[in-house]
Amino acid sequence: MSKRKKSPSGNPANRGLSFVDRSIARDFERWLAASETSLTDPHTADGAIGHLFDITKRSGLDILEPSDAADIADMLLDLGPNAEGMVDLFHDYVHFRLETSRDPRWPQAHDELEDILEGDPGVSAVLEAIITDAESRDPAVTADALAHTRVIAGVTKLLDWIGTSRPITDTGALRLSDIEPAAATLGLRAAGTRTLPATGDLRGQTVIAEGITYVQSMWHLEPFAAWWRALLDTDLLELTASRVRPGRAAQHWRTASTPPRDTASEVAALVISDTVLGDLPPDPSAWDASLFRVRVTHALAALMPDAIDEPAPRTEIDELFVPRVEREWWMLADLGLAEPLHNHPATRFAVPEALRGAVATGLLSALAEGAELFEQTHDIDTNADDSNPFADPALRARMAELGVVHKPGMAAELMAELAPLLAEDGIDLENGIAPDLETLNAALARATERRNLERFTPIGDDRDRALTVLRLTADALLTGNLDLAHALIESVPPEPEPGSTMPAVSHVIGAGLGALDTWSQTGAGTRFPTTPMPRLSTPADAAAADILRRAAHASAFGSLSQLIGRYRGKLVLEATTVAVAAGIQALADTEGTDLQTALARHLTAP
């Protein structure tokens, strides 16, 4: 007859436990004794349950908290031989909570624990494996591939142009007049200017006109700025208080028959890291997290194009950033660090084999730095199979908010959403009813457009809330309260949140553009192009002027896709609020009413 385990409450280790801890420990002991599927032998764990609870508490962890499960497992594994049987006992405990607790987070905690115990390689290990593989390859091949990229081939050209030194501004940037020749060493057509051209393609803080990128600071020329910082970090350049000059590593670079492989690899890696990180602030917002998420998923897809179906956006706000990130990858392709996959239906890129080590190093560095800036959450994809490289529990736990997860089947989900819209054109792909490829592509484009427009057309409470945000923001902008305007814009969540009293970004943008088109048909639109603009920021004000030009022809909402593709995601929201405020001022002037009357009349749901 087997011997029963002692009650945890009778173990000295339990004396410091709370009443709740002791109660759960007793229930766990009874569950173990009755369980026929226990992972460990309950009869060999005499006193072990109390010890498990005690060492967890002394480690500053809460065994009752699902979010601490992964940390508890790591702590037990770190104990080595002293924890023999304790990890399995904790595994039993998590199964016990799965069966007996109503907390919906325990299944996720269990999946994380399984990943830890199975030793899933995860993203960091996959990137490290790519780096290790690259180090085992012929160094001459890697050096030659790097030498043929612009970021490496341009170094000597830049050093020759700098000569002994060149003047810099207080921010460490080149003077405006020096941007053109310096950018040319990287193969870029750019020019510094104090005033951006009034016409051209406005992208963030740059304007592209006739193939030339005009900037008001070297730091706004993103590919060059990333390269410049990389050269400073590798000592190829150095700064004094007022000048830039060749750094300590420049002499060896110039005298070597080919660019030193290690330094060249580091330059390429730093350009990648800088591009993925962007300008992440110390306290990043949801907007920053979304942009970083899209950048990371695109980088992973370029490194592993055969392993990842597509870098599909996870949220509505992610979709707003996709055009910007795709432009960044076209830039990296121009620099020689990636190649476009022309045979792929979507915009995709692949990193050349010989450059994978450098690019993986840069991405791993960006992940490590970016993860430290974001608060840990537990919104982790638990549907990963063993082949999923994004199941690294340690990295996922630190980067859950960033969404660095592979979500297979996204293309199928999208097609399921588009199916009813395709059916309107008589296309039923599931049953093989489809026209020729050209007609099908045209139908897919129309269906995608209709799907996007539907998502940006709020109804009911969503529309009422969107109009409220627009009314309050317009009031703040037109009365000069920029702090309140910024606060209102920042409070808009990236996507719909159940139970939230705030509309989503898509709702505010859609309602605002729709209102502008409606107002233009009343006659106020004739005043849009010349209406004095309220001030929010230079980029937002410029984009708002573009929106007003379109609204004058009642085509602001119809230009939604072009607006999203032209400007950064958040900029579309900001510009919409500025344009709406300008529209309200135009209506007030046209109707001869005061501001508050115009706001109440035109931005309040009927």
Is the distance from CB of 196 to CB of 216 less than 8 angstroms? yes
pLDDT digits (tens, 9 = 90+) for 77-97: 766 555 657 888 888 888 888
Least confident of 45-49, 145-149, 377-381, 453-457: 377-381
Q: Return the C-alpha torsion angle 527, 529, 533, 536, nearest 10.
A: 140
Q: What is the pLDDT of residue 122?
A: 56
Q: What is the pLDDT of residue 8?
A: 34
Is the distance from CB of 231 to CB of 151 less than 8 angstroms? no
**451 or 65: which carries more pLDDT confidence?**
65
Q: What is the pLDDT of residue 61?
A: 84
CA 7 to each of CA 11, 22, 162: distance values in angstroms, whole numbers, following the listed order: 7, 10, 78
**Burial class of residue 1, CB neighbours in 10 A (0-12, 13-18, 19+):** exposed
Q: What is the pLDDT of residue 329?
A: 92
Q: What is the pLDDT of residue 377?
A: 32
Q: Considering the entire predicted model, what is its pTM?
A: 0.53
Residue 417 has pLDDT above 60, yes or no: no
pLDDT digits (tens, 9 = 90+) for 97-107: 888 888 888 88
Both tokens of 237, joined, read 């350049």
CB count in 10 Å sphere of residue 569: 24
Q: Distance between CA 325 and CA 292 in Å, rounded?
A: 10
**304 or 284: which carries more pLDDT confidence?**
304
Q: What is the pLDDT of residue 77?
A: 73
pLDDT digits (tens, 9 = 90+) for 6-39: 333 334 344 445 667 778 888 888 888 776 544 4
pLDDT digits (tens, 9 = 90+) for 328-352: 999 999 999 999 887 655 568 999 9
Residue type, position 127, single letter: L
Percent of all residues in the chain with a pLDDT value above 70, rounded to a whole number: 70
